[in-house]
Amino acid sequence: MRSKAARAVMVFLALLPGPALAGLPSPGRLVQVIVVVWDGAQRNHVQEMLDSHALPNLEAMIGNGGLWRADMVIHTTACEVGDGDGYTTMTCPAMAALVTGYGYPLNHCYSNGRCGTLADGTSIFERMKTFDPDIRTGMITSHSLTCWPSPVLDAAAEALDVQYHDLDVSGNSTTIRGLQFVDAYRRDPFLLVLHYGGPDFQGHSRGENSEQYDTILMVNDGGLGRIRARLADLGMARSTILLVTADHGFEEGAKNHVGCLDDDRNLWIASSRAAAIGNLAAPAWQTSMAPTIFDLFGMSKDVLPPFGAESLVLWEN
Ligand SMILES: [Zn+2]
Ligand SMILES: [Zn+2]
C-alpha cells in the first residue's frame, strides 16, 4: 500500500491540468472549434484590408488574444503530383486537404476537374466521431461546385450532424445557420466549418482588385462579428476557438487563381487564441489544419496514412 504522502502527491498530480497555454482547453475539457474559410481571399489583399482597419472583426479577434499568421501556404511549388502536397490551387482539392490533412493523391482530389470522394474514414469528421461520438460536427457552405461539397464529402456525410450548402454569395445564410448550430450545441463539444464562397465569386466575376471583392470580404467580416457576438452572449467567447483562413489565394488584379503562382498558393490563418496556431517552428501548410484540430480536441495525430504536416498548436510544456 502506498504511503499517505505518496497518495497525496498522486492526487495533486491528477489535479494538475494537462499541457495548456493561454486559454486553450486542457485535455478532457469541453472543446469547441469553429473554422471559417473565406474562399479565394488573397493573403496580401486581406493583409492590406487589415492594415487599413477595413476588417474590424478579424482585427479585433487577432488583437484580443489571437494571432495572425501570414506564413501559411498550399505546400507545393508547382502544384504537380509528387511536389509537396501536390494539388492545384482550386477549391475542391484545397477543401479536401483541409478536412483530411492530406495532399494529393491521398485526398482523392487533384483539381476541380479531377476530384472524387474522400477515402472512407479519412475526414476529420469521421475520425472525430470515432474518437468521441458526442462531438457535434457541421459543414455549412455557400459555395457549390461539381466537386464540392459533393462528391468530396459523400463518404463523410454520416459523420456530419449538420451539412448544408447553398449559393448565397453574401454568406448571410451561412452565418445564420452557423449561429443556429452554436445555439443548438452550445453545451456539447463541436467542430463547425463555415465556408464562405463570396470572395471567390466576386474575384471571378469582377476581379481581385474590384470594389465588389473588398465589399464581400467586409460582409464576411461582419459575419465573423456576428459569430463572435453570439459566442460572447452565450458566455462561450473564451472557450470557443475560432480559426479563420482561406482555401486558396487569387491572382493580383486578375479573375482567376489556378496558375499556381505565389498569390494563389499563399494563404493566411488567424485564430482567436494565439496558442492554437502559435507553434511558429512548425511550417504552416493547409494540411496542418487537420493535425491542429486533432491536437485541440486531444485526439491522437498518429493516424494512417500518417499526416505529412505538423500541428500548429503551441503547448506550454
Ligand atoms: Zn475556392
Ligand atoms: Zn474560384
Q: Which domain holds residue 262?
A: 31-297
| Ion ligand 2: residues, Cβ under 5 Å | 200
Q: Would you say residue 4 lies in a domain?
A: no
| Gyration radius of the chain's alpha carbons | 19
Among the bound ligands, the one closest to the CA of 141: 1
CA dihedral for 210, 213, 214, 219, sign (positive or negative): positive
Centroid of ligand 1 to alpha carbon of 274 (angstroms): 26
Global confidence as pTM:
0.93
Q: What was the pLDDT predicted at 94?
A: 98
Distance 72 CA to ligand 2 centre (A): 19
- Rounded-to-integer distance, Cα 221 and Cα 242, Å: 13
Q: Are 293 and 189 in contact (CB under 8 A)?
A: no
Q: Per this entry, what is the length of the chain? A: 317
Number of domains in the chain: 1
Is 97 inside a domain boundary? yes
Whole-number pLDDT of residue 146: 95
**pLDDT reported for residue 26:** 66
229 domain-assigned:
yes
Q: Determine, yes or no, domain membership for 5.
A: no
CA of 150 to the centre of ligand 1 (A): 15
Within-domain flag for 76 = yes
Is the residue at 309 inside a domain? no
Tens digit of pLDDT per residue, the chain (317 long)? 444 444 444 444 334 444 555 567 665 689 999 999 999 999 999 999 999 999 999 999 999 999 999 999 999 999 999 999 999 999 999 999 999 999 999 999 999 999 999 999 999 999 999 999 999 999 999 998 999 999 999 999 999 999 999 999 999 999 999 999 999 999 999 999 999 999 999 999 999 999 999 999 999 999 999 999 999 999 999 889 999 999 999 999 999 999 999 999 999 999 999 999 999 999 999 999 999 999 999 999 999 999 999 999 999 85
Q: Residue 231: inside a domain, yes or no? A: yes
For residue 258, the ligand closest to its alpha carbon is: 2
pLDDT at 27: 58
Whichever domain contains 216, its CATH number is 3.40.720.10
- Alpha carbon distance 310, 295 (integer Å): 10
* Ligand 2: centre distance to CA 257 (Å): 6
Tell me if 134 is assigned to some domain.
yes
Cα 135 to Cα 117: distance, rounded to the nearest angstrom:
23
Locate cell 449561429: which residue? 179
